[in-house]
Amino acid sequence: MSKLEGRVAVITGAARGIGAETARIFREAGATVVTWDVADGVDLRVDVTDAVAVEEAVAATVAAHGGIDILVNNAGILRDAQLVKVKDGDVVGRMEEAQFDAVISVNLKGVFLCGRAVAAVMIKKGWGRILNASSVVGLYGNFGQSSYVATKAGVIGLTKVWARELGPRGITVNAVAPGFIATEMVRQMPEHILRQMVERTPVRRMGEPRDVANAYLFLASDEASFINGAVLSVDGGVVVGT
């Protein structure tokens, strides 16, 4: 029997990158996968920042498949900027409030809205897996990423609270914290930046989307039934090497 045979999994932000690879690996493991994203090419177009849209997507998924067993909160965006930018001793720029709000809305509020809606379904069954996308930068910070780091640290906080609240209901909640992962977006960065990423990673390579997807697969499986409230770094040791 495959690891996820008979399970229904919702994966947000699944149009590309880690989300798309997680969907592929979950299907190979026997799961019925429902992909959500604001982009085309997924099962349901869902804006995770819209509470009504999320509730409607949950209802549609339950109606079509009878329930939801696994939620992977993968949707996320970047709007990087320094808090204040200084040149020759003068402040020449500041992070825009709209940039900050956009990242908080998708990366943190979106996790809250999806988790709230799906947990209500899982409680009725008495079983579930909620997996939240954090990042190693949520553990140690990163220059120029105030908003992104705030959300990824916040996701860790949500994960630990939900693990306490939902564990007695048969639902485990864990986070995965990827390091430098070679997604389509990252591969477009300048070559010298990519080299720096590799040099900062003790295993001397960037991660692949499948590395993160396999971590999600394990945490979603029965083998991980006693893991709850954990943050699993999938980073090649980058935190150790920092």
Answer whether 75's CB lies under 8 Å from 19's CB.
yes
* Confidence (pLDDT) at 64: 98
- 185 has a pLDDT exceeding 90: no
Instruction: Provide the pLDDT for residue 188.
Output: 76
Structural domain contains residue 96: yes
Instruction: Extract the tokens encoding 224.
Output: 């991980």
Domain assignment present for residue 3? The answer is no
Q: Say whether 102 sits in a helix, a strand or coil.
A: helix
Please give the mean pLDDT across all residues of the chain.
94
Element housing 138 (H / E): helix 137-140
Read off the tokens for 49.
Answer: 């920042």
> Residue 163 domain-assigned?
yes
* Overall number of domains in the chain: 1
What average pLDDT does range 189-209 have in this prediction?
A: 89
Whether residue 1 has pLDDT greater than 70: no
- 173: pLDDT strictly greater than 50: yes
Q: Is position 206 within any domain?
A: yes
Taking only the tens place, the pLDDT of each residue in 102-144 is 999 999 999 999 999 999 999 999 999 999 999 999 998 888 8
pTM (2 d.p.): 0.93
Q: Does residue 1 form part of some domain?
A: no
Q: Among all residues, which ones are annotated catalytic?
A: 148
What is the domain-level CATH number for residue 126?
Answer: 3.40.50.720
State the residue range of the domain holding 203: 8-241
81 within a domain of the structure (yes/no): yes
CA separation for the pair 164, 46 (Å, rounded)? 28
What percentage of residues in the chain have a pLDDT greater than 90? 83
User: Does 183 map to a domain?
Assistant: yes
For residue 2, is it within any domain?
Answer: no
Distance CA 35, CA 93 (A): 38
3-state secondary structure at position 43: coil
What residues contact 170, with CB distance under 8 A and at least 6 apart? 122, 125, 126, 127, 128
Please name the helix (run of DSSP H) or strand (run of DSSP E) that holds residue 173, with its range, or none: strand 171-178
